[in-house]
Amino acid sequence: TLRKENILPQDRLPVPELLSQRLADMGWPLELQGTGKTDYKNREFSIRYPLGDVFFSFATTIHETGHWRQSEIDKDLSKRSEFLPEDEINDIPANEEDAYRRGWERTKKYAPELVTDLETKFAEFKKAGKLKAFDNFEQLYEWFVNFGLAISRAIDSIEDTDNKAKRENQMFEALKQAGMETKFKEFAELRVGELVDSEQMERYLMKMADGVAIE
């Protein structure tokens, strides 16, 4: 089940609690702030989603629903190499790729009306001259998947260490070497200027939770 109090909107970057100011200054997007978790003991889901630009906020949330019950699917995918506590984005790339695909397939299955709504909204923004590089929301989501996996691979490449300052330096350099400074700017340019609707998000998440619960 998913209780309303376990749906947690995120309206800011977690600086300095989790992200360093240096990473924030690099352009780390608010829309990447999401986590999808499963409390197996109490049989409950929880989710954090970004209160950011509409398409990327939904893209992150779609991805996070792919993490629900993920350790039941393949035990190897539950092996974590986290850098930031509570941040699902830093799972090993195989875990992340599975969640991106699974979240999208689940959304098409359990909440097809959201896909229709996002595609309709996308067409309106495209007609207004935005998002010219893409034909539809699904193509934008594919771009987002590749963007997210590039971050995951960069973070996965850093050396294991208990030294927080060293890890932070390694993460910063790995992201720079992966070209993420440019990618973060590209991400910012793809925002359309419309914030995600929290009520629509909650309706979507409740439907998704009902579907995933019976898988």
Per domain, the residue ranges of the chain are 2-213
**pLDDT score recorded for residue 88:** 44
- Read off φ and ψ for residue 36, nearest 5 degrees: -120, 120
Cβ atoms 103, 66 nearer than 8 A: yes
Instruction: Give the largest CA-CA distance in the chain.
Output: 50
Cis peptide before 85 (omega within 30 of 0): no
pTM for the model: 0.89
**pLDDT score recorded for residue 73:** 62
Question: How many angstroms separate the CA atoms of 102 and 136, rounded?
Answer: 19
Give one DSSP letter per residue of 56-98, joined into a string. Answer: HHHHHHHHHHTTTTHHHH-GGGG----SSTT-GGGS-HHHHHH
**pLDDT score recorded for residue 87:** 43
Per-residue tens of pLDDT for the chain, all 215 residues? 999 999 999 999 888 877 778 888 999 999 999 999 999 899 999 999 999 999 999 999 999 999 999 877 655 444 443 334 444 434 578 889 999 999 999 999 999 999 999 999 999 999 999 999 999 999 999 999 999 999 999 988 888 778 888 888 898 999 999 999 999 999 999 999 999 999 999 999 999 999 999 99
**pLDDT score recorded for residue 74:** 54
